[in-house]
Amino acid sequence: MTRSLRRRTLLAAALLATATFVPAAVAQDFDPDATVRIGSLYEPQNLDNTAGAGQGINEAFNGNVYEALFQLTDAGTVEPRLVDSFERSDDGLTYTFKLKPGVTFHSGDPLTAADVKYSIERVTAEASKSSRKKSLSTIASIETPDDATVVVTLSARSISLPYNLSYVWIVNDAAADITAAEDGTGPYALAEWRRGSALALSRYDDYWGEAASNAEVVFQYFTDASALNNALLTNAVDIITSVQSPDSLAQFAGNPAFTVTEGASTTKELLAYNDRVAPFDNVKVRKALARAVDKARLLNSIWGEYGTLIGSFVPPTDPWYVDLTGVDPYDPESAKALLAEAGYPDGFEFTLDTPDYDPHPIVAQFLQAEFAKVGVKVNINIITANEWYTKIYQQHDFQATLQEHVNHRDIVFYGNPDFYWGYNNPDVVKLIADAEAAGTEEEQVAKLTEANRIIAEDAASNWLYLYPQIVVSTANVTGYPINGLNSQFFAYDIKKAR
């Protein structure tokens, strides 16, 4: 156990130092006309990221089919993409973006400022189902003085505007419905989509930048992890984007035909309480439940030797990370004492809404056993992803739930009292708002680090562990992203040996 923990720490440290590392064997002689087949569990529901398409569409399309003004790279930095240069006014409220010249959409239309305005407004529109809508709410107006210039005026300063714009696809304003078609500027165009099975992208020949190093990318979709592993084992796919269990890794690790890479993860498994309702509105109850769970053992049950323990919602790759695992360490005795102090000496009973897919049901059973030891009874209620979205995310009708949060830099959710978990600490709300309005990055980091410490002290949720981010490929492909931040999977640098 100690050995594996140390191994984890070392890995995390190494990853922090070098956010990316290139898989050992770099293909010298690659085939520029190769087809790269990527196996994934996340088939998009449709092709429009503002129409409830799911995380799969970001995986397939971000950076590949659609580009944004900025790009969140696999290393975690935000870099200009379709923006040639930009200026921020001294008060921080006006951004002037100059667009890259010579960019064309796959339909052949040139990129203009009107397309950018249209694209941002698509995300902020009332009917938009984009989960990122709220973070763009400070945009007051968008002007297009000429075809190459976009001026965005904000109602309040927003230091993460470039970051937030990195997920706003720039779509041709002439493209009406993009739920089954696309018109982006990326290095690939959509070739074919067979629902329930696969989505193919082919290299776009008039791409403004460096051409993709493969001719075609096919995302093959699976509904269960075993079928996905089998596909890689039998060479039906070249890469699997995220391995779901250590048991499937046993088949690939140590086999020279495959490359296993562990990247920096941002995916957190958490027990989210509805902090609005009793008894979870009581910080002592939340702290007691945080201490009642042997998280090291849970992580070992789910991930064997992989994964990392976290003490709050912030993964080691976020700049405001501090090690907070010591705030509420595993201690069932003090958990019982805290429950008694909170007025629950005999414990209580609650319903845990558990999504019906792995790992949530098994995590729920673990929690059930752990909480029983401190007198708290858990009723496991299995729900579908769709019910989770309606009942919990939209209607906040729950006591506690399990969920995995995949995003990078998402501590901001704790600054929104209307978020599904309903955590409402005015200090945190203010710190997070101030951080967004900060003049410098140092200031932003300081404020968010402070907020991070407070949510940990408040045990706002029960952060169980950080998933490992593991990509496995056959040994003859290289150049794929290993961190998969915000579910992105850039395919244009993937090289397949001849």
Partner 1 sequence: MPARFRFDEAAACSRLPASPVDTRTRPILSYVFRRLAILLLSLLIAAVVLFVLLRLLPGDPANALLGVGATEAQIAAARAQVGSDRPLVEQFVSFLSNLARFDLGTSFVSRADVLGEIGNRMSVTLPLTAFGFLLAIVIAVPLGIVAAVKADRWYGAAISVISQLGIAIPVFWVGILLVTAFAINLRLFPSGGFPLRGWEDPGEAAISLALPVVTVALVIAASLLRYVRSATQDVLGSDYLRTARALGASFSEALIRHGIRNGAVPVISILGIELATTFLGAVVVEKVFALPGLGSMLLLAIQQRDYPNVQGVLFISTLMVLLTGFAADLLQRVIDPRLRARGGRP
Partner 2 sequence: MTALETAAARPHRSASLQLGLVLVGLHVVVALLTLVWTPYDPGAMTGGRLEPPSLAHWVGTDRLGRDFLTQIMIGSRIALIVGSAAVAIGAAIGITLGMLAAFATRLPDDALAATLDILIAFPTLLIAMLVVAASDTASLGTAILALGIALSPIVARLTRILAKRVLLLDFITAARTSGTSWPGIVFRHVLPNIWPTLAVNLALQFGVAIIAEASLSYLGLGAPPPNASWGRLLQEAQGTVYTAPIGAIAPGLALVSLVIGVNLLADGLRDVGDPTRRRGA
- Give the footprint of partner 1 on this chain (CB under 8 A): 45-46, 51-52, 126-129, 131, 133, 177, 179-180, 192, 194-198, 200, 218, 220-224, 226-227, 230-231, 233-234, 236, 384-386, 390, 393-394, 418
| Chosen residue from 53, 324, 383, 466 binding partner 2 by CB under 8 A | 383
Q: How far is CA 17 from the centre of its chain?
A: 21
Q: Does 171 bind partner 2 (CB under 8 A)?
A: no
Q: Does 257 bind partner 2 (CB under 8 A)?
A: no
**307 close to 299: Cβ distance less than 8 angstroms:** yes
* Separation of alpha carbons 323 and 470, rounded Å: 22
Q: Which of 369, 367, 132, 407 is nearest to 273 (CA)?
A: 367
472: three-class secondary structure by DSSP: strand
CB atoms within 10 A of CB 196: 7
What phi and psi, each to the nearest 5 degrees, are found at residue 280? -80, -5
Q: Does 393 bind partner 2 (CB under 8 A)?
A: no
CB of 148 to partner 1, least distance (A): 33
DSSP line for 146-162: ETTEEEEEESS--TTHH
Q: Does 399 bind partner 2 (CB under 8 A)?
A: no
Of the pair 54, 246, the CB lying nearest partner 2 is at 246
* Separation of alpha carbons 30 and 395, rounded Å: 51
Is the Cα torsion angle 53, 119, 37, 359 positive or negative in sign? negative
* Separation of alpha carbons 357 and 203, rounded Å: 35
Q: Does 42 bind partner 2 (CB under 8 A)?
A: no
For residue 388, the 8-state DSSP code is I
Q: Does 250 bind partner 2 (CB under 8 A)?
A: yes
CB atoms within 10 A of CB 176: 8
| Chosen residue from 208, 330, 357, 419 binding partner 2 by CB under 8 A | 357
* Separation of alpha carbons 231 and 223, rounded Å: 12
Of the pair 367, 435, the CB lying nearest partner 2 is at 367
Sites for partner 2 among residues 73-112 (CB under 8 A): none
* Separation of alpha carbons 232 and 483, rounded Å: 19
CB of 106 to partner 1, least distance (A): 19
Residues 252/256/257/260 CA torsion (nearest 10 deg): 50
CB of 415 to partner 1, least distance (A): 17
Residue 107 identity (one-letter amino acid): S
Of the pair 220, 461, the CB lying nearest partner 1 is at 220
Residues 216-235, one symbol each (x = binds partner 2 by CB under 8 A, - = not), give: --------xxx---------
CB of 356 to partner 2, least distance (A): 5
Q: Residue 126 touches which of partner 1, partner 2, none (CB < 5 to 8 A by kind)?
A: partner 1
CB of 310 to partner 2, least distance (A): 20
Q: Residue 198 touches which of partner 2, partner 1, none (CB < 5 to 8 A by kind)?
A: partner 1
Q: Residue 51 touches which of partner 2, partner 1, none (CB < 5 to 8 A by kind)?
A: partner 1
Give me the residues that bind partner 2 (CB under 8 A), please: 224-226, 244-245, 247-248, 250-251, 297, 300-302, 304, 354, 356-358, 361-362, 364-366, 368-369, 372, 380-383
